[in-house]
Amino acid sequence: MAAMRFDVPHLDDLDLAGKRVLVRVDFNVPQDEAGHITDDTRIRASLETIEAILAKQGRPVLMSHLGRPEGKVLESLRLKPVAERLEQLTKKKVVGLDESIGPAVEKAVQAAPAGAIVLLENVRFHKGETKGDVELAKSYAKLGDVFVNDAFGTSHRAESSVSVVAQFLPSAAGRLLEREVAAFRKVLENPARPLVAILGGAKVSDKLPVVANLIPVCDAILIGGGMAYTFLKALGHEVGGSKLQADQLEAVKQTMAAAEKRGCRILLPSDHVVADALAETAKPSTVTEIPAGKLALDIGPETRRRYAVEIAKAKTVVWNGPMGVFEWESFRAGTAAVAKAVAEAAAYTVVGGGDSVAAVELLGVASRIKHISTGGGASLELLGGKALPGIEALLRPRVAKA
């Protein structure tokens, strides 16, 4: 079972009227070379929390990272474009600051007009941010009366603005974080059965802890992507030039033995779409046994059918990782078939992980998924049974005011 605790305090547990509400959001949005935001999904995801704070007469003070400046001030990673987009979306005054700590910032926060939103500068411009520096967290805490974590996508990181600042202020989860916690609670705590997990992606080493953690709660686990071929090799199948982590073979064998003992069925591909090379222009063909010189880049039609049948029978489905190289049309059919089956399932469906989310959006079925997680790494760690520092911090009693 997951080590994660789900009884987090909620936004409605805090008295926000007249208070400075320090909010960790995830505005790590993609931009083009000209600095224009190309996808504002993460900004939109924060709006419910921001609007709730304003409705409760609170004064939102937002902080986020953008990119990986590694403690340096990089003009290309300033949050000014985010402030402009946020102002467009909220139709509220957004006061964008060029720093995130210090007396001038404290004065600017105090001087912000009622009903306005303050956006601090990129917190990763400070070297101590990613190291969980306590003094830096204390500096953030001086900007708020209460703290709200609404950045699920960074909650697996023990960073100053994510988890450490919660030690110094009354803290709670924002609306987005609440939804994420509720979704994974439905999967990991007493799920409606059958519970089917679909796991894909390239590296089995990334997903093996997830498989191990899900075995006690899942009825079936469907494996696809490059990771499937270490499983197949462990069973004695030839995998040609397919992705293989030979150092994981023994661990995979132990995992499959544990699954059999617990009555959790692990399903593997029975046919494969292969090619001569990992290239978009490579000619695909379908085989049941992978010959030398070929590598598998997608699951085959029979596997798609089998997986769709399992998904259709499920009452709870969680999916993390594509079935193949879905970015290329020739090797997209497996991921597309799984996406269609998940979208059509009469089940509670959760999709997490950047590639899986990209796949359901590319294939036009995102609106039919019950919950799409905003955190790839965070959702993977949750499914792997790890406690997330950003959430655990909300459960601990705070220390003295900074």
Six-digit token pair at 277?
A: 């090379």
- Reported as type and span, the H/E element at residue 186 is helix 175-188
Please give the span between the terminal C-alpha atoms of the chain, in angstroms, as a whole number.
36
Residue 203 falls in the annotated catalytic set: yes
Residue 294 falls in the annotated catalytic set: no
Residue 354 falls in the annotated catalytic set: yes
* pLDDT score, position 1: 40
What is the average pLDDT across 192-196?
97
pLDDT at 124 over 80: yes
CA-CA distance, 170 to 167, in Å (whole number)? 8
* pLDDT score, position 353: 80
Domain boundaries, the chain: 11-178+387-395, 193-346
Residue with tokens 């490059």: 226
Under 8 Å between Cβ of 364 and 358: no
Model confidence pLDDT, tens digit, residues 133-169: 999 999 999 999 999 999 999 999 999 999 999 999 9
pLDDT at 400 over 60: no
Which band of pLDDT confidence, cut at 50, 70 and 90, is reported for residue 4?
A: low
Which band of pLDDT confidence, cut at 50, 70 and 90, is reported for residue 397?
A: low
What is the average pLDDT across 283-305?
97
Q: Provide CB contacts within 8 A for 94, sequence distance 6+.
A: 83, 84, 86, 87, 116, 117, 118, 119
Neighbouring CB atoms inside 10 A of 398's CB total: 17
* pLDDT score, position 2: 40
Residue 377 falls in the annotated catalytic set: yes
Query: Across the chain, what does the average pLDDT equal?
Result: 94
Domain 11-178+387-395 has CATH 3.40.47.10: no
CA-CA distance, 152 to 155, in Å (whole number)? 5
Whether the full predicted model's pTM is greater than 0.85, yes or no, is yes
Sign of CA dihedral 365, 366, 369, 373: positive
* pLDDT score, position 355: 83
pLDDT at 270 over 70: yes
Going by C-alpha positions, the residue among 55, 22, 40 that lies closest to residue 402 is: 22
Which band of pLDDT confidence, cut at 50, 70 and 90, is reported for residue 396?
A: confident
What is the average pLDDT across 94-111?
97
Catalytic residue among 377, 385, 386, 398: 377
Six-digit token pair at 399?
A: 């220390």
Neighbouring CB atoms inside 10 A of 18's CB total: 11
11-178+387-395 and 193-346 share one CATH topology?
A: yes
Catalytic residue among 67, 132, 354, 385: 354
CA-CA distance, 355 to 326, in Å (whole number)? 9
Domain 193-346 has CATH 3.40.50.1260: yes
Catalytic residue among 5, 19, 56, 203: 203
What is the average pLDDT across 246-267?
97
* pLDDT score, position 402: 60
Model confidence pLDDT, tens digit, residues 202-230: 999 989 999 999 999 999 999 999 999 99
Under 8 Å between Cβ of 374 and 42: yes
3-state helix/strand/coil string of 250-272:
HHHHHHHHHHHHHCCEEECCCCE
Six-digit token pair at 72?
A: 């340096």
pLDDT at 312 over 60: yes
* DSSP strand pairing (285-287 vs 272-275): antiparallel
